[in-house]
Amino acid sequence: MSDPWQECMDYAVTLAKKAGEIIRGALKEEKSIMIKSSPVDLVTETDQKVENFIISLIKEKYPSHSFIGEESVAAGEGSILTDNPTWIIDPIDGTTNFVHRFPFVAVSIGFVVNKKIEFGIVYSCVEDKMYTARRGKGAFCNGQKLKVSGQEDITKSLLVTELGSNRDPETIKIVLSNMERLLSIPIHGIRAVGTAAVNMCLVAAGGADAYYEMGIHCWDMAGAGIIITEAGGVLLDVSGGPFDLMSRRIIAASSRPIAERIAKALQIIPLKRDDATN
């Protein structure tokens, strides 16, 4: 029996490649920067252009499918996940990096049916690394199979996370105290490259042992989440419970013991869910 979603996936890879070209071109130019939820939550015309590009081409080919895209949601579109085949899109993950020309910028596309992630694509376009995963078929980067590190000992771990775009003093305090607790275990170190999707792909490739963050959105996690699980890793909620795509938070790790140890160390930041109706 043939794979009903393989065609969608192949199409998504083509779109991600083309989007990456648009982004690389825009990187060389001056940028008009706007802000969203805070003075450090940046967006540019390129974010909007790339998202419109991707969504319009998918709509043409698959008119019955649903969409949750970062810039569409910012413009007022809904972000409730139904059972309908749904494309969850971040046109530029790492917009702050993009604005500065810091070379970690990715297009992220996750495809969800019956609320289950079927495939994910993350194209780190400056590095020209195409990360992909199809449920049950493994995870790859530029054709090379990916495998997580398998590390189970937190004291030998390298973690990835971000400081986030929330500058509320209370939130900053929690973010930094979480880092303090983890660094004190001790661990080998913490890295932050500036995009959730690329951070997660680094874990999937075995270059780091876990990623955690609170405050990101479903479009940051939908593409890379399945890349991690197909590379042998685990996804967990920061509370230690099962991962929830609309919860605004994630632990993505090379092993369950590492994920659980991180969950133990984290103080939770209260956040509005992506599918909240008010």
Partner 1 sequence: RLIYELLFQIIRKALTEEKQVSTKTSAADLVTETDHFVENLIISVLKEKFPSHRFIAEESTAAGSKCVLTDSPTWIIDPVDGTCNFVHRFPTVAVSIGFAVNKELEFGVIYHCTEERLYTGRRGQGAFCNDKRLQVSKETDISKALILTEIGPKRDPATLKLFLGNIERLLKAQAHGVRVIGSSTLALCHLASGAADAYYQFGLHCWDLAAATVIIREAGGTVIDTSGGPLDLMSCRVVAAGTREMAMFIAQEIQTIHYRRDDEN
Binding residues: 70, 90, 92-93, 220
Max Cα–Cα distance, the chain, nearest Å: 55
Binding to partner 1 by residue 163, rule CB under 8 A?
A: yes
Binding to partner 1 by residue 208, rule CB under 8 A?
A: yes
Q: Which of 206, 215, 232, 257 binds partner 1 (CB under 8 A)?
A: 206
Residue 73 or 208 with smaller CB distance to partner 1: 208
Query: Residue 206: which of 118, 145, 278 has the closest Cα?
Result: 145
Binding to partner 1 by residue 194, rule CB under 8 A?
A: yes
**List 47, 51, 71, 93, catalytic entry:** 93
Dist. CA 148–CA 85, nearest whole Å: 28
Dist. CA 218–CA 79, nearest whole Å: 9
Concerning whether 170 is annotated as a catalytic residue, the answer is no
Q: How far apart are the first and last CA of the chain?
A: 43
Torsion of CA 16, 20, 21, 23, to 10 degrees: 140
Which residues contribute to the annotated binding site for Mg(2+)?
Answer: 70, 90, 92-93, 220
Minimum CB separation of residue 246 from partner 1 in Å reads: 25
Dist. CA 271–CA 44, nearest whole Å: 25
Q: What is the DSSP letter of 267?
A: P
Q: Which of 158, 174, 246, 271 binds partner 1 (CB under 8 A)?
A: 158
Concerning whether 132 is annotated as a catalytic residue, the answer is no
Q: Provide the pairing of β-strand 86-93 with 116-124.
A: unpaired
Region near partner 1 per CB under 8 A, out of 59-67, 85-93, 132-140, 178-186 = 178-186
Q: Do the Cβ atoms of 108 and 90 come closer than 8 Å? A: yes
Region near partner 1 per CB under 8 A, out of 77-85, 202-210, 213-221, 237-245 = 202-210
Query: Residue 266: which of 224, 208, 212 has the closest Cα?
Result: 212
Residues that bind partner 1 (CB under 8 A): 39-40, 42, 96-97, 99-103, 127, 149, 155, 158, 163, 167, 169, 172-173, 176-177, 179-180, 183-184, 186-194, 202, 205-209
Active site residues: 70, 90, 92-93, 95, 220
